[in-house]
Amino acid sequence: MIPVPGAFIAGVAIFLIVLWDAFEAIILPRRVTRKFRLARLFYRSTWHVWKFLICLVPSKKKRESLLGYYGPLSLLVLVGVWAVGLVFGFGLMQYGAGSAVSMTGGEGSFMTDFYLSGTTFFTLGLGDVIPRSSLARALVVTEAGFGFGFLAAVIGYLPFIYGSFSKREVDISLLDSRAGTPPTAGELLRRHSYEHGQEALRELLKDWELWSAELMESHLSYPVLAYFRSQHDNQSWIASLTAILDTCSLLMVGIEDACSKQAELTFAIARHAVADLSQVFGTPPKPVAKDRLSQEDLRHLRDILAKHGLKLRDGEDADRRIHELRRLYEPYVNALAIYLNQTLPAWTPQGKGKDNWQTTAWVTYGGLPEDKGVEHAHADDHF
């Protein structure tokens, strides 16, 4: 066949675009600020479609379960898109070079070149299509090398993603017994109102300072992690991070004998994380539609804390300070929550509920049979 230079150039362009995108997503350990990226286009388009379709499901628990499939599934599909793109690019290069191949029982065509590219990329080497020219052989050897390297990178990439996800979820699970389910700032402070509780709270905030830094580092470099949802429907990394920011805000406003300095440090890195993540996902800050902490809620929160020996500073200056601190992070976490279809927590527990550790599909806490009329967090869990 006659060489087609345009097809060869198009194949080289596709190969370079896909290879660079895979390099940025898998290997490059830093945020990419370029607007056009194949992976970014893939996630923004497929996530909106997936979320729209799943939100049509009437059952909330079923919706949450189906939304949880998106992260792992999208990861596998994106790897497939990269593989198809590389195979297609090399196929175009073979076609542009004149389809210089020998084929058993037929003549060369673009589909033959595409088939040769696929068998080469996945290192099958069936031998029914053989390159004849020097350029065709060079392309086959080059593609075989890239195919082997691509598969090796993917094999190392998937365990790292799941390891980062698991590491993120550890502190979220630990927060269950410390701040309730879902976590709230009021409950976190109340449960640390015991003797020497402020020291334990200081250590917790120090752990969450480190957690926030790791979240920012991992989710900026690998944004797909943000789509991975927590094990329980009433938990999420956004809700947990918001509860910690709420708690730090109250401590910074002023609670006697509280760890205000550590709260400032944790608040700084946590706010940094949500602001940067909001930029990565293209979600501009959006004020919360319904005030999460009205004046009445704030008075109720003060009363709860006072009953447990924690006096939150009051007055116009204190109220203004709380409002100013909330403006630094609430619009960002709200925008991320809307984008990821998550729910922000309240400042105090809404009604009497059980923590996740107190529920099970078999028995209630204390060993008594469950009330069949109560829906529990693990009721539909399975191995």
Two tokens, residue 154: 């993917």
Whether the pLDDT of residue 383 is over 50: the answer is no
**Under 8 Å between Cβ of 55 and 67:** no
Whether the pLDDT of residue 375 is over 70: the answer is no
Res 373: pLDDT: 40
Residues in the chain: 383
List the single range of 13-17, 24-28, 305-309 with lowest mean pLDDT: 24-28
**Could you report the per-residue pLDDT of 342-361, keeping only the tens digit for each?**
999 999 887 776 777 777 66
> Judging by beta carbons within 10 Å of its beta carbon (0-12, 13-18, 19+), is residue 58 exposed, middle or buried?
exposed
Two tokens, residue 99: 């389809």
Once rounded to an integer, what is the mean pLDDT over residues 176-204? 90
Res 233: pLDDT: 79
- Going by pLDDT thresholds of 50, 70 and 90, the confidence category of residue 96 is confident
Q: Give the number of C-alpha atoms closer than 13 A to the C-alpha of residue 209, restricted to the C-beta side.
A: 15
Residues in CB range of 371: below 8 A, 6 or more apart: 364
**Distance between CA atoms of residues 310 and 341, nearest Å:** 34
Range(s) for CATH 1.10.287.70 in the chain? Answer: 5-155
**Distance between CA atoms of residues 227 and 343, nearest Å:** 14
Res 361: pLDDT: 65
Res 374: pLDDT: 38
Once rounded to an integer, what is the mean pLDDT over residues 149-176? 89
Torsion on CA atoms 185, 189, 192, 194, rounded to nearest 10 = -160
* Residue carrying the six token digits 């079923």: 62
Whether the pLDDT of residue 335 is over 70: the answer is yes
Once rounded to an integer, what is the mean pLDDT over residues 210-235? 90
Q: Provide the whole-model pTM.
A: 0.84
DSSP 231: S
**Under 8 Å between Cβ of 237 and 344:** no
**Could you report the per-residue pLDDT of 245-295, keeping only the tens digit for each?**
999 999 999 887 678 899 999 999 999 999 999 998 989 999 998 889 999
In one letter, which amino acid is 348?
A: T
Taking all residues of the chain, what is their mean pLDDT, rounded to a whole number? 86
CATH code of the region 5-155: 1.10.287.70
Res 286: pLDDT: 93
**Under 8 Å between Cβ of 241 and 273:** yes
Res 105: pLDDT: 62
Once rounded to an integer, what is the mean pLDDT over residues 125-134? 79
Res 339: pLDDT: 95
Whether the pLDDT of residue 327 is over 90: the answer is yes
**Could you report the per-residue pLDDT of 144-159, keeping only the tens digit for each?**
999 889 888 888 888 8
User: Rounded to 5 degrees, what are φ and ψ at 357?
Assistant: -70, -15
Share of the chain above pLDDT 70, in %: 91
In one letter, which amino acid is 125?
A: G
CA angle 30, 175, 279 (to 5 degrees): 30
